[in-house]
Structure 1
Amino acid sequence: MSFAYFILIVSIVSASALEIAGVKFGAQLATMVAALSLLAAASSTRKAGYDHYVRATSWGRWILIAIPLCIAAQLVPLPLSSAHPIWASAHDVLGGLPLGPITADIGLTLNALLLALAAISLLGVTVLVVRNRSRAQLILFVLSGVAAVAALILDLHRLLPALVADVPHDLTTTLAGLGLMLNLAVIQLAAERAETHHSVLRSAAIGLCGLVGALVSAAAIFGFSGTNSAIAAAFGVVLMLLILVIRRLDLSPLAASALSVAALVGAAIVLTFLFEQSSGPVLMRLVPEMGAETKAALERMLADTRWFGAGAGTFAAVGRIYQSDAGAVLNAPSAATAVFAGMGWIGLAAMIAVSLIALVRLFFGALQRGRDSFFPAAAAACVLFALVQSFAGPGLLRPAAILCLSVIVGLGLSQSVSQSGSR
Structure 2
Amino acid sequence: MSLAYFALIVSIVSASALEIAGAKFGAQLGTMAAALSLLAATLSARKADYDHYMRATSWGRWILIAIPVLVAAQLAPLPLSLAHPIWASARDVLGGLSLGPITADLGLTLNALMLALAATALLGVTIVVVRDRGRAELVLFVLGGVTAVSALTLDLHRLSPAVAGTAATSEFATTLAGFGLVLNLAIMQLAAERAETRHSLVRSIVLGLLGLAGALISAAAVFGLSGTNNAVAAGFGIVLILLILVIRRLDLSPLAASALAAAALIGAAIVLTFMFEQSSGPILMRLTPDMGAETRAALERMLADTRWFGAGAGTFSAIARIYQSDAGAALTAPSTATAIFAGMGAIGLVVSLVAGLIALVRLFFGALQRGRDSFFPAAAAACLLFALVQSFAGPGLLRPAAILCLSVIVGLGLSQSVSQSSSR
Match runs of 1:115-194 below 5 Å: 115-168=115-168, 169-194=170-195
User: C-alpha separation between the residues in 1 aligned to 2:297 and 2:282?
Assistant: 11
User: C-alpha separation between the residues in 2 aligned to 1:6 and 1:29?
Assistant: 14
Offset at residue 26 of structure 1 (A)? 1.5
Is 1:289 aligned to 2:290, yes or no?
yes
User: C-alpha separation between the residues in 2 aligned to 1:81 and 1:408?
Assistant: 39
- Which position in structure 1 is the counterpart of 2:212? 211
| 3-state SS, counterpart of residue 193 of structure 1 | helix
User: C-alpha separation between the residues in 2 aligned to 1:8 and 1:78?
Assistant: 37
Offset at residue 313 of structure 1 (A)? 0.2
Offset at residue 308 of structure 1 (A)? 0.3
1:132-176 per-residue CA deviation (whole Å, 9 max, x = no partner) reads 101000000000000000000111012211221221511100000
8 Å Cα contact 1:133-1:421 kept in structure 2: no
Offset at residue 198 of structure 1 (A)? 0.8
Offset at residue 421 of structure 1 (A)? 4.2
1:321-350 per-residue CA deviation (whole Å, 9 max, x = no partner) reads 001112221100000000000000000001
TM-score (norm. length: structure 2): 0.99
| 3-state SS, counterpart of residue 157 of structure 1 | helix
User: C-alpha separation between the residues in 2 aligned to 1:241 and 1:80?
Assistant: 49
TM-score (norm. length: structure 1): 0.99
| 3-state SS, counterpart of residue 78 of structure 1 | strand
- Which shows bigger deviation, 166-175 or 215-224? 166-175
Alignment gaps of 5+ in structure 1: none
Paired AA for residue 15 in structure 2? A
User: C-alpha separation between the residues in 1 aligned to 2:290 and 2:158?
Assistant: 20
| 3-state SS, counterpart of residue 162 of structure 1 | helix
- Which position in structure 2 is the counterpart of 1:6? 6
User: C-alpha separation between the residues in 1 aligned to 2:401 and 2:422?
Assistant: 31
- Which position in structure 1 is the counterpart of 2:201? 200
1:179-223 per-residue CA deviation (whole Å, 9 max, x = no partner) reads 000000000000011111111111001000000000000000000
- Which position in structure 2 is the counterpart of 1:114? 114
User: C-alpha separation between the residues in 1 aligned to 2:27 and 2:194?
Assistant: 37
- Which shows bigger deviation, 399-408 or 77-86? 77-86
User: C-alpha separation between the residues in 2 aligned to 1:223 and 1:328?
Assistant: 29
- Which position in structure 2 is the counterpart of 1:82? 82
Alignment gaps of 5+ in structure 2: none
Offset at residue 27 of structure 1 (A)? 1.2
Paired AA for residue 350 in structure 2? A
8 Å Cα contact 1:366-1:374 kept in structure 2: yes
Match runs of 1:318-397 below 5 Å: 318-397=319-398
- Which position in structure 2 is the counterpart of 1:71? 71
Among all aligned residue pairs of Structure 1 and Structure 2, give the percentage whose two residues are the same amino acid: 79
Paired AA for residue 366 in structure 1? A
Offset at residue 81 of structure 1 (A)? 1.2
Aligned-CA RMSD value: 0.7
Paired AA for residue 334 in structure 1? S
Consecutive aligned runs of 4 or more in structure 1 exceeding 2 Å deviation? none
8 Å Cα contact 1:157-1:167 kept in structure 2: no
User: C-alpha separation between the residues in 1 aligned to 2:334 and 2:181?
Assistant: 23
1:352-386 per-residue CA deviation (whole Å, 9 max, x = no partner) reads 00100000000000000000000000000000000
Is 1:263 aligned to 2:264, yes or no?
yes
User: C-alpha separation between the residues in 1 aligned to 2:50 and 2:79?
Assistant: 41
User: C-alpha separation between the residues in 1 aligned to 2:164 and 2:20?
Assistant: 12
- Which position in structure 1 is the counterpart of 2:280? 279
User: C-alpha separation between the residues in 2 aligned to 1:172 and 1:35?
Assistant: 25
User: C-alpha separation between the residues in 2 aligned to 1:247 and 1:348?
Assistant: 34
| 3-state SS, counterpart of residue 100 of structure 1 | strand
User: C-alpha separation between the residues in 1 aligned to 2:305 and 2:273?
Assistant: 26
